A and B are shown apart, each in its own frame.
Chain A
Amino acid sequence: MTAADFRTLEQGQAPAAQPAAAQRTPLGLLRALFSRPASAAGTVIFLLFLTLALLGPLLAPYGANEQIAADARQPPSAAHPFGTDTLGRDVFSRVLLGARDILSLAGFGTLLAVLSGTSLGLLSGYLGGWFDELLMRFFDSLLAMPALLLALMLLGAAGPSRGSILIVIVIVYTPIVARVVRSVVLSVKSRGFVEAARMQGESLGAILFLEILPSVLPALAVEAALRFSYAIFLVASLGFLGVGVQPPNPDWGLMVKEARSSVAQVPWAMYFPAGAIAVLVVGVNLMADGIRRAWTEG
């Protein structure tokens, strides 16, 4: 007799984990997120950055492009908590003011990618057949290229602007979201309640959005949070490569790029925006993991 025999007995008896309905409300989710230190930290970081993005202009002591010639290349001090760069701009103010750009670009981009990915994933998984086959092969070809390379090609063609950055995020992330949604649809669509709905003459829209979508939501929320953290990274990378947000806007990636050449003299001008990117990405990732745990482990 092997140990496997005993394992089946255990699994047969373990009380079934019921996905608690309370965790599907925003407040319930927040409570679940704060029940673990890691996801609580991630949530706090995200909410902090969100607040800074909203209130940035009120909190920043200086303007983004305000140059104080006398204070150029100052190390961090009480007057300039993050120091100043080679042009005499206050790094703290620029980091604060840059939060809004990166969060809104990554946020709206993710939102649009989730919307289009969900619709296409639902349709593709449910309809199947040649539509599914064609769409998935097309997505495969997009996914075959590294996201950054694809973004560079698209931006090279469209020219850098906020609009084209949004479009790039949508194109890069729609296939990934669609795949996740489709895989859930495939497992749900053969269940009794979906077949019953078909036999009751429900419309395609009702079947997709009333019957199937609710079962997709937990996986979708996790995926959306994860995509959001990657989108932040992508926007910053594009800024760093010079094809994203253009100067003189206070974009974090752009700030890292501009400060790179003078890193020996003013390291703080590079480390603070780079740190901001890292902290935000890690925070959002921790939060995404928290959502996954709350919804899949019950």
Chain B
Amino acid sequence: MAPLLQVEDLTVTYRQSGSRVLALREVSLHLEPGHILGLVGESGSGKTTLAMTVMNHLPPEGQVQRGRVLFDGADLLQMPAAGMRQVWGAQIALVPQDPLSALNPSLRVGEQVDETLCHHLGLDRRQARQRTLELLQSVHLPDPGRVAESYPHQISGGMQQRVLIAMALSTSPRLLVLDEPTTSLDVTTQASILDLIRELIQGRQTAVLYVTHNLGVVAQFCDHVAVLYAGELVESAPVVELFGRPLHPYTRGLLDSVPRLEAAAPGGNGRGKIHPAGIQGQIPPPGARPSGCVFIDRCPLAIEICRTRPPLYPSGPGRSSRCHRWEEIAAGTADPRQPAAGSSGQPAADVPQPRSQPALALRDLQVRFKVRRSLLRSLLALFTRRPAQTLRAVDGVDLRVRPGETLGLVGESGSGKTTLARAVAGLQATHGGEMQLGGAPLPPGLERRGLETLRRVQMVFQNPDEALNPYMSVGASLRRPLQTLLKMKPVEAAGRVRALLQAVRLPPEYADRMPSQLSGGEKQRVAIARAFAAGPELVLADEPVSALDVSVQAAVLDLLERLQQEHGSALLFISHDLAVVAALAGLVAVMYLGRLMEVTPAEGLLQPPHHPYTEALLAAVPRPDPGEQPQGVRLRDEIPSPLDVPVRGCPFHTRCPRFLGPVCVEQTPPWQVDPATGKRYFCHIPPEELRGVQSS
């Protein structure tokens, strides 16, 4: 079949403060109708630049130095803007990463879809609206009429993305460019969006260029994968072969960095399951790239010949690798796997034995938010005597974490997991229940905690860019807790700072650096060092790696685990990524709408019986191995607004794939205990029965 899209020898530069830096170098690829090409790379690899160049829509600072983009035989780069306007939308459609900023906030959703139809298909208003409603129906939006009349901010992120998909496909384009369309969505929403795209393009011969950093999604969704690194195409192969037998050391490293759900399988002892840094170091910034092989600085196989730039060797039918040593890798005589560092994988002998007192105990913890009302509504409420609405963010949570243990807390966004951690941290007031730290009451609210209590509970925050004071050097940021919590003298503290930096594998010179000179992973390392500086007994980590690239994630998680073991601290680890939790935690708690649904030892996470919610979450995680995706249940809708939590019965009954009937609506489920796996879950269905349905 003749390729629909052919990128030939594409070289793109960016103007940056006077000089030109290389963003893409001699990239070639092709895409046939009906195929899905995954474009994989970490931030800075040039994948978005490539997608934009394919659409002939580079920002003004970008310039194509060489190469062609042939779409159906015509070079798009030579096409004038007026010509491109006939191509954009009609021939090539885009689904962007952030749905909210792609929709016009001041126009109703329906009007925006109408506009596309009127412009490209020449329909009149009435016909367009008719078609819009059909399109919204086709992307499985409940109540298309209501959605069409809503403004973008009134519908959820998943629904916004569905609208954009409907818009992109409305003109039956021949090429669909998807730029990380699910990155900002929950795993359950991501699964249903991917299902939807697959369904819609089937039989239409639409070619898809899928830009992502998520290897799980690539494995499940794409036919062919192109791996970009530092602006160069380093490997290209059919998806099964790429995942089965990568022929470039970078691809191997990337695959090894991905946390896998299976890490939780029985046999693991809940520790040392994180593969230490699949790839050392970090991607060189544009302008400082090596002249030979771009990966040379981080490659475990680098030898003398790698100082010359490798060509793209054809390494098999339909695949190629930009590595001088691909034949050795293929033959198995050169192993790009990094030698595992010493202590990892060893059973943690120095972990303190479980003492009688849990490090953290929560009993019936409640956190509520008052919903703000407008002045008018408050006045009306005075007359109607309607009580102010409250949102139960955390609703009666019981939880125990033993010293030295890692508890992974998972759930979709809006499930209340961050609020729970903030309540324990003292950053959020509580409205009932009890918290205990090492057996003694833990007062809610920081003002009521003494220095000693403060020392014992520390936190690692989600956003690395906000975790460190931008106007304070790394050394000063690390000295502060030592001086305030441990009452160290400045000189003594300065000495400890060096040890702290060493513990997170940063050179001592970093003490004088400002946060703006650090990469995201380095910032998060400093934040981890700061949290452990005063020897806490409990560390709360709120999505500490969700903002980092996958090769950096592994290294940061590895560090977090090591420091935790060294200090024997308990760790409450929050993540929306089940695989990360499975790799790190000994105990996993699943939260939904402010309540716990299931608490399970990590070894038992993958084994039935599952709470139906856990079952759906597990089925939604894209496995980073083609063909290994379990066919499981899908959640129909999205997480309801916490204001619409069912008052009686099971909070999950509105979405439950194992819904029984009135009993789920009317009666609060009991906590079931499964003796075989040691898990507890909140459901009417007893373990044996649940195991029966879920094993088949």
Contact = CB atoms under 8 A, between A and B. Distances in A.
B59 A197 contact: no
B449 to A, nearest CB: 8
B97 interface: yes
Interface string A8-35: 1111111100110100000000000000
Nearest to A198: B446
Given A1-B168, A192-B463, A200 B484 contact: yes
Nearest to B96: A8
Contacts of A156: none
Contacts of A10: 52, 57, 59
Contacts of B164: 5
Interface string A200-221: 1110001000110011000000
Interface string B466-492: 111111100001001100110000000
Given A2-B104, A195-B459, A200-B481, A211 B469 contact: yes
A138 interface: no
A210 B483 CA distance: 14
Contact of B516 (A12, A18, A198, A206): A18
Interface in A168-224: 191-193, 195-202, 206, 210-211, 214-215
A6 interface: yes
Which of the four size classes fits the interface of chain B?
35 or more
B484 A191 contact: no
B97 A201 contact: no
A13 B484 contact: no
Nearest to B517: A21
A4 interface: yes
A211 B55 CA distance: 44
Contacts of A9: 48, 51-52, 55, 57, 94, 96, 179
B467 A193 contact: yes
A2 B466 contact: no
B167 interface: yes
A7 to B, nearest CB: 8
Interface centre among B16, B94, B514 (most CB of A within 10 A): B94
B544 to A, nearest CB: 10
B457 interface: yes
Interface in B107-160: 112, 115-116
Nearest to A15: B16
Interface in B66-88: 88
A198 B461 contact: no
A2 B96 CA distance: 11
Nearest to B115: A2
B545 interface: no
Contact of B457 (A8, A13, A191, A199): A199
Contact of A200 (B89, B93, B112, B485): B485
B425 interface: yes
Contact of B514 (A7, A8, A14, A21): A21
B61 interface: yes
B458 interface: yes
18 contacts: A1-B116, A2-B115, A9-B52, A10-B57, A15-B16, A15-B61, A192-B467, A192-B527, A193-B466, A193-B468, A196-B467, A199-B425, A199-B427, A199-B446, A200-B481, A200-B484, A211-B469, A214-B470
Given A6-B88, A9-B179, 14 more contacts: A1-B88, A1-B167, A2-B104, A4-B103, A5-B94, A7-B101, A15-B14, A19-B516, A193-B466, A195-B425, A195-B427, A198-B427, A202-B480, A202-B484
Interface of B: 14, 16, 48-49, 51-52, 55, 57, 59, 61-62, 88-89, 93-94, 96-98, 101-104, 112, 115-116, 164, 167-168, 179, 425-427, 446, 451, 454-455, 457-459, 461-463, 466-472, 477, 480-481, 484-485, 514, 516, 527, 530-531, 534
